[in-house]
Amino acid sequence: MSDPQQDPEAPDWLSAAERGMWQAFRNGSAYDLRVHDPLADDPMVDRPWGPERTVRARVMALLLLSGPDARPGRVAALKVRGVQIEGVLDLSGGTVSPYVELHGCRFDSELLLPECRFSTLRLVGCAFPRLEAARLHTEGDLHLPRCRVERGIRLTDAQIGTDLLINQIVVHRDRNDRAIAADGLNVAQDLQAELIESYGEVSLRGARIGVSMSLRGSHLRNPYGKLALNAPQLTVERTLYLTPAGLSSAAYGNTTPPYGIGRGLGHVPVRGMRVQRFECEGGVRLDDGRFGDAVDLQEARFTMEDDQELSLRRIQAPELRFLCERPERGKVVLSGAKIITLVDRSTSWPGPGRLSMGGFVYETLVPLGHFPLVRRLEWVTAATAEYAPEPYERLAAVKRAGGEDSEAREVLLAKQRRQRETMPPAGKAWGYLQDWVVAYGYRPGRAALWMAVLWAAGTFAFSRYDPEPISPGQHPQWSAPLYALDLLVPVINLGQDGHWRLEGGWQWAAAVLILLGWILATTVAAGASRLLRRG
């Protein structure tokens, strides 16, 4: 590094450290004040950095907003390492043309960047009390990886030209109990927030992400309020990942973020890689979200109180991968959601009273692992504390569309049985009779069996009887099988009924056959009608 005293244009009132930064800025070179002691260079450790490593925030602001011209053949840039910034760095409403990259720096006061414009801004591994950057605009990236923020980040209505990377950041709450306030945020490409730790609400209401949004391996905690992730009306053009991340044990070096974070659905860790799942302590609100590819909850862990929810009301996505760990408390709400493919496990869904699916529309089911129909019916039952036909009808339609007609009939039979429990005693008794006799018409083979048994019984009985004709000379030949069948089958006349005089107990036997025939015909017709309406 050249001697800072060689720049005659530097103001006389600059300290030695500030003169060095001034000259490095004009050269576009890195200005490194680290002492190469890991403990002494760590901005997160509470150890004083002397004046030889300290620059004033107003000097840095002077360079960024109205700094000197670059030296011939160079591009001015502020690239500093291991520097302590004293005072409030206030760039509010300014336009910063030079490239800015700060590594391992410490700010003793907040950064004020509201309505500021940057080309690219990188703060890597820095510590600062707060970042105030509402309506910030960058043409390129905004990087804040591995930073530590004590009183929250505000990025409300910020416009990020390419990527927003905040991997491995640790951020605590502000006075409104928000760790990250980014309502209305617009990111042109990816939002990477992998392996972050937040202590307070992460608010992304109405945010728009141009490609994917990743919270792989992150831990969101909000012991101060109901919501740990509050992102209604979030739009992600591709996939939202709330999944595990693999963190390599290799040194980070000077590479670009995300610094060895492994990705991907079904990622298999390799030797030397630590896998960390996504965990959320507090409620999640993704209501009315729009996702171009998928919402992926593989192996996610949600820890909620009884009055908190994992709310996916009215979301729209081609695919929902509900493969999380089963929440022990709280409620999962999918009311009004519209999904094409639901990928799920039986062990991921909560039990009765903690699942709501009113108006939930899906077209295809892709279960992973053992998910028999009996468990799928328990899933529907868990979502309907009070009887509602729609979840059963939706499941039956999906089963039928997938060619599983027998399972579709079983689902509709379960619906009838569930509805029966809501009926008055007379209706309930009639329902039990229909169920016992022909399973509400969804098992037609049972009706045929009953008909055969009754016909055989009637034939046997009437073969032991020789009745007198009502009109001698105007009657067919007596046939016990045809007479029994004529009594059993309503509407159709086989030419036997009405020609013979029955007396005593035989009248009662005929009446019983007629009554049972009508019961069978009514229940079979009702079942056939239901099948035809959904055929």
- Joined together, the tokens standing for residue 234 give 């979030």
In degrees and rounded to multiples of 5, residue 300 shows phi and psi of: -65, 150
pLDDT of 364 over the 50 cut: yes
Over residues 452-481, mean pLDDT: 75
- CA dihedral (16, 18, 21, 25) positive or negative: negative
Count the neighbouring beta carbons within 10 Å of the beta carbon of residue 95.
Answer: 13
Q: What is the tens place of the pLDDT at every residue in 393-439?
A: 999 999 988 888 888 888 888 887 777 777 788 777 766 666 666 66
Would the pTM count as exceeding 0.85?
no
User: Residue 446: what pLDDT?
Assistant: 65
Query: Domain extents for the chain?
Result: 130-247+276-385, 444-533
Given a contact cutoff of 8 angstroms between Cβ atoms, the answer to whether 179 and 152 are in contact is: yes
CA 221 distance to own-chain centroid:
17
Find the largest Cα–Cα distance for the chain: 138
Q: What is the tens place of the pLDDT at every residue in 73-93?
A: 999 999 999 999 999 999 999
Over residues 472-500, mean pLDDT: 71
Helix (H, G, I), strand (E, B) or coil at 55: strand
- Mean pLDDT of the chain, nearest integer: 86
Nearby residues of 254 by Cβ (< 8 Å), 6 or more positions away: none
- Joined together, the tokens standing for residue 70 give 């670059």
pLDDT of 490 over the 70 cut: yes
Distance in angstroms (rounded) separating the CA atoms of residues 413 and 431:
11
pLDDT of 441 over the 90 cut: no
User: Residue 495: what pLDDT?
Assistant: 62
Count the neighbouring beta carbons within 10 Å of the beta carbon of residue 35.
Answer: 13
One-letter amino acid at 478 equals W
CA-wise closest residue to 368 among 324, 312, 426: 324
Q: What is the DSSP string of 136-151?
A: -EESS-EE-TT-EESS
Domain 444-533, CATH among 1.10.287, 1.10.3860, 1.20.120, 1.10.10: 1.10.287
How would residue 171 be classed by pLDDT, with cut points 50, 70 and 90? Answer: very high
Distance in angstroms (rounded) separating the CA atoms of residues 462 and 479:
9
User: Residue 68: what pLDDT?
Assistant: 92
Given a contact cutoff of 8 angstroms between Cβ atoms, the answer to whether 113 and 135 are in contact is: no
Given a contact cutoff of 8 angstroms between Cβ atoms, the answer to whether 347 and 372 are in contact is: no
- Joined together, the tokens standing for residue 515 give 């009554």
Count the neighbouring beta carbons within 10 Å of the beta carbon of residue 48.
Answer: 8
Q: What is the tens place of the pLDDT at every residue in 104-148?
A: 999 999 999 999 999 999 999 999 999 999 999 999 999 999 999
pLDDT of 362 over the 80 cut: yes
User: Residue 428: what pLDDT?
Assistant: 75
SS3 letters for 266-328?
A: CCCCCCCEEEECCEEECEEECCCCEECCEEECCCCEEECCCCCEEECCCCEEEEEEECCCCCC
Given a contact cutoff of 8 angstroms between Cβ atoms, the answer to whether 520 and 437 are in contact is: yes
Nearby residues of 53 by Cβ (< 8 Å), 6 or more positions away: 17, 33, 82, 83, 84
Distance in angstroms (rounded) separating the CA atoms of residues 145 and 140:
16
Over residues 240-254, mean pLDDT: 71
User: Residue 445: what pLDDT?
Assistant: 63
- Joined together, the tokens standing for residue 468 give 């007198």
Bridge-partner residues for 165, per DSSP?
Answer: 143, 192
User: H or E segment at 448?
Assistant: helix 444-462
- CA dihedral (425, 430, 434, 436) positive or negative: positive
SS3 letters for 467-535?
A: CEECCCCCCCCCCHHHHHHHHHCCCCCCCCCCCEECCCHHHHHHHHHHHHHHHHHHHHHHHHHHHHHCC
- CA dihedral (372, 373, 374, 378) positive or negative: positive
- Joined together, the tokens standing for residue 218 give 């992150």
User: Residue 271: what pLDDT?
Assistant: 60
pLDDT of 1 over the 50 cut: no
